Amino acid sequence: MIFRKETFADALARGRRRLKDSPTPELDARILLSLASGHDHASLIANDREEVPEEVLERYAALLTRRRAGEPIAYITGRQEFWSRDFSVGPGVLIPRPETEMLIEASEKLHVETILDLGTGSGCLLITALLEHPQATGIGIDVSGEALQIAERNRQVLRVADRSELQKMRFADTPMMLRGQLFDLILANPPYIPEGADLPVSVKGFEPASALTSGQDGLEAHREVANAIAHLLAPSGSAFIEIGHDQGETAEAIYRDALFGKDVRTHLDAAGHPRMVAVRPKGAL
């Protein structure tokens, strides 16, 4: 394909126009032009009047086409930032979201020696918790082999492989498979979207359904996670679970029923929506 000559500024403007339906066309176009050219943001600005090589324009066009089809930027670049660190991601794993960082914030000041991450996905929660608690060891479980491969890559790159292990299992199997082990900190971001819910193309068309939906009411995984926590949480331990924005009362009730004698409370995110259930020993707050 032959492309007309363009400067970097021209190419960026064209990308913005092509991605006008994206929530972030300027950012997306800049990220994709950086990926295609190898220039970082500062270099794109410094060289904005330089002519773009044809091979770069060809790569850029292909990337714009993928983004216009709804493919998430994180899958196109193969990375997503979480807690100021880069994590590898891919189509077989849920893309880490900023709201999930609430779980790390809640656990920052705890004394933790053992960590369990239920539904580890990319490993972002387990790995971040291990890096925040350098004395701790941890286990991440997931039913997806693809997700575990990506988590393995991340734990190697971020250098926590010597303090962690990954195991393939379902939530429902963890009480038996991990029998005899207790954890100071349990983290979980289970699927919590009801089946059939209306989702953006960038989500339903690309991210794994098994990491998104959980039964007709969106609560099946919460019931299994609550049972796992009841069996595996140390008496003085804490658990933090991400929930859907409309699940404040229903999800909290599930964890309260399963974890009698614990302090169970729902916390709001920055937008004021229910986002996390915290399970702590009575009197810990």
Instruction: Identify residue 114 by its one-letter amino acid code.
Output: T
| Surface-to-core class of residue 143, CB atoms within 10 Å of its CB (0-12 exposed, 13-18 middle, 19+ buried) | middle
Q: Is residue 121 part of an annotated ligand binding site?
A: yes
For tokens 């796992």, name the residue: 228
Q: Is residue 206 part of an annotated ligand binding site?
A: no
Could you tell me which residues are beta bridge partners of residue 138?
115, 164
- Identify which of 274, 280, 85 has the alpha carbon closest to the alpha carbon of residue 185: 280
Q: Is residue 180 part of an annotated ligand binding site?
A: no
Cα 181 to Cα 163: distance, rounded to the nearest angstrom: 16
Tell me how long the chain is: 285
Q: Is residue 87 part of an annotated ligand binding site?
A: no
Q: Is residue 189 part of an annotated ligand binding site?
A: yes
Q: Is residue 190 part of an annotated ligand binding site?
A: yes
Q: Is residue 122 part of an annotated ligand binding site?
A: yes
Contact 11, 33 (CB under 8 A): yes
Cα 285 to Cα 271: distance, rounded to the nearest angstrom: 23
The DSSP string of 61-86 is HHHHHHHHTT--HHHHHTEEEETTEE
**Residue 262 CB contacts under 8 Å (≥ 6 apart), including other chains:** 279, 280, 281, 282
Binding-site annotation: residue ranges for S-adenosyl-L-methionine: 119-123, 142, 171, 189
Binding-site annotation: residue ranges for substrate: 189-192
Binding-site annotation: residue ranges: 119-123, 142, 171, 189-192
